[in-house]
């Protein structure tokens, strides 16, 4: 794997965005906590310091050792990083008279400066800090200013060190990507060689070398991540990959049969296991969302382990872990607080005694899809909306029963089929239905009903970290609502969720 750019994370909400912008330049990068950087920096060609919620003036502020970086590797310090360099090297950082947050415009740009090549005066940038640099560090030279921030950007003479008090990684900084490209490509001369094709070549070679003639078992979910991981492994080790696709009884309507057939058509060595009754019996009477997740996780491991033990000499467990999961599990403040417990990092029970292989652990979701396209995977499968690991269990609020699953599967089928028929499916990042623990009064014909309420949810997003609700056409929502109420026995009311993330989450549990 290429190791071209190191991003040191100081806890900023935007750190992953820095990595995404760098990857968009076809440059490979990795994020490490500032207090646990890689010991060997010989393969890195540049370093970026992220922003932070801390103030450099605080007693508990992050205090990294940059002795192996400053003056030795091209360095770009963003926001907190810029203030850190100033504060501890002859400059001065003080509270700003005004909170510098939001849009600003560059009012001064130094002439003939490679870092700002192609950036026009009045270019919009995004500020997010309450401190400001009053005095530049030793040998600092101002490169750009805004109306309120004199030292918006600077460099340090005698080093390839640049610093900015704004965030080039957010879309609000209109020339932010240009500045990153100027620093990485023109100044640091980092090769733009990270493409889906190069990733496939590198990872297949790496998998062959690591696994050799060993056997690997992989649990397929029907989702994009596990599917792309399976195709990569199949390309590397062929029939030594054993895939297990478990029906937990909480998939979409007819999904187990259709996806299993699709996998077999792709040439994967896959076995389908229908364990729906086992899962639903274990879930009976459980209403707490986290308990539902853990129960599903436990039963899945039991079922998966039963099947894996029928195979002989398996040494590896493959998982579809992707980079946001990895970053979250090694965040600056330790593993992130538990919001939900169903991603793939960690949790492997000791009794399975298998080594773990994760072909996608360095990719973001959109990169996984691009790699899948390079591998020739059906666009329809690659374009499938994300689906939660615990399936429909977390879209049924309250306890789980076979009847509730039936109702939600039928509602979801009407909604998703309608999106496809009306050309809306690919315009939505994720959509689904939620069965609420609410009954409402209705009238059907001359009869009074007291039946279930369902909520429809459709969001647009890039990677699920933030999401906006989709303004589906009223005529479409009216048609789908009527169809659900007419076709799905047990439902007499449909509502549409217009919450964005944050503050809401995409799923309801």
Task: Give catalytic residue positions.
Answer: 79, 167, 169
3-state secondary structure of 21: helix
Give every CB contact of residue 174 below 8 A, 6+ residues apart in sequence. 123, 124, 125
Strand partners, 135: 92
Residue 234 sits at the vertex; the CA angle it makes with 233 and 236, to the nearest 5 degrees, is: 60
What backbone phi and psi angles, to 5 degrees, belong to 476? -65, -45
Helix (H, G, I), strand (E, B) or coil at 67: coil
DSSP string over 437-501? EEEEEEEETTEEEEEEEEEEEEEE-SSSSSBEE----HHHHHHHHHHHHHHSTTEEEEEE----B
Print the SS3 string covering 276-316.
HHHHHHHHCCCCCHHHHHHHHHHHHHHHHHHHHCCCCCEEE
Distance CA 51, CA 57 (A): 14
Report how far residue 32's alpha carbon sits from residue 332's, in angstroms, rounded to the nearest whole number: 8
Euclidean distance between CA atoms 182 and 152, whole angstroms: 17
- The helix/strand count (H/E) of the chain reads as 13, 18
Question: What is the sign of the dihedral through the CA atoms of 443, 446, 450 and 453?
Answer: negative
CB distance 163 to 74 below 8 Å = no
Contact 477/431 with Cβ under 8 angstroms? no
Q: Which of 60, 52, 94, 104 is nearest to 77 (CA)?
A: 52
CA 140/CA 119 separation, integer angstroms: 21
Determine the Cα–Cα distance for residues 24 and 181; give it in Å rounded to an integer: 10
- The Cα 356–Cα 316 span in angstroms is 6
Summarize the chain as % helix, strand, coil (round to 5): 35, 25, 40
Q: Over the Cα atoms of the chain, what is R_g? A: 26
In the annotated binding site for ATP, the residues are 221-227
* Distance between CA atoms of residues 6 and 19, nearest Å: 9
CA proximity to 368, closest of 323, 424, 417: 323
What count of residues does the chain have?
A: 509
């Amino acid at each position: 794997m290429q190791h071209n750019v190191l991003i040191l994370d100081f806890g900023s909400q935007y750190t992953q965005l820095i990595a995404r912008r760098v990857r968009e330049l076809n440059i490979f990068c990795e994020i490490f906590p500032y207090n646990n950087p890689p010991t060997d920096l010989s393969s890195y060609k540049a370093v970026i310091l992220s922003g932070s919620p801390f103030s450099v003036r605080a007693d508990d502020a992050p205090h990294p050792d940059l002795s192996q970086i400053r003056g030795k590797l091209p360095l770009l310090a963003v926001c907190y990083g810029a203030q850190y360099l100033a504060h501890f090297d002859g400059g001065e950082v003080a509270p700003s008279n005004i909170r510098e947050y939001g849009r600003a415009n560059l009012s001064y740009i130094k002439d003939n400066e490679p870092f700002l090549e192609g950036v026009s005066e009045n270019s919009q940038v995004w500020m997010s800090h309450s401190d400001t640099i009053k005095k530049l560090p030793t040998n600092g030279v101002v490169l750009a200013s805004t109306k309120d921030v004199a030292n918006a950007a600077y460099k340090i003479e005698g080093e390839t060190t640049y610093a900015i008090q704004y965030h080039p990684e957010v879309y609000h900084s209109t020339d932010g990507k240009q500045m990153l490209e100027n620093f990485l490509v023109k100044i640091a001369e980092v090769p733009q060689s990270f493409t889906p094709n190069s990733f496939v070549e590198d990872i297949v070679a790496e998998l062959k070398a690591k696994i050799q003639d060993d056997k690997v078992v992989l649990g397929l979910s029907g989702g994009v991540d596990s599917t792309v991981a399976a195709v990569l492994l199949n390309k590397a080790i062929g029939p030594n990959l054993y895939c297990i696709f478990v029906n937990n009884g909480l998939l979409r309507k007819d999904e187990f049969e259709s996806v299993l057939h699709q996998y077999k058509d792709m040439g994967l060595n896959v076995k389908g296991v229908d364990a729906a009754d086992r899962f639903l019996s274990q879930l009976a009477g459980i209403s707490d969302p986290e308990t539902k997740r853990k129960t599903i996780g436990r039963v899945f491991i039991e079922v998966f382990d039963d099947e894996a033990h029928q195979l002989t000499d398996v040494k590896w467990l493959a998982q579809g872990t992707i980079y946001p999961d990895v970053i979250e599990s090694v965040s600056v403040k330790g593993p992130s607080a538990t919001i939900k417990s169903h991603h793939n990092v960690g949790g492997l029970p000791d009794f399975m005694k298998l080594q773990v292989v994760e072909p996608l652990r360095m990719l973001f979701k959109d990169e996984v899809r691009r790699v899948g396209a390079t591998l020739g995977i059906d666009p329809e499968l690659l374009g499938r909306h994300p689906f939660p690991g615990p399936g429909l269990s977390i879209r049924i609020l309250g306890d789980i029963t076979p009847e509730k699953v039936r109702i939600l599967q039928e509602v979801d089928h009407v909604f998703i089929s309608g999106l496809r028929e009306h050309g809306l499916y690919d315009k939505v990042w994720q959509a689904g239905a939620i069965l609420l623990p609410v009954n409402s009064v209705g009238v059907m014909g001359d009869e009074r009903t007291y039946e279930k309420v369902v909520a429809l949810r459709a969001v647009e997003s890039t990677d699920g970290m933030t999401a906006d609700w989709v303004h589906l056409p009223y005529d479409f929502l009216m048609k789908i609502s009527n169809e659900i109420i007419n076709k799905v026995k047990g439902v007499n009311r449909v509502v549409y969720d217009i919450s964005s993330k944050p503050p809401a989450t995409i799923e309801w549990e």
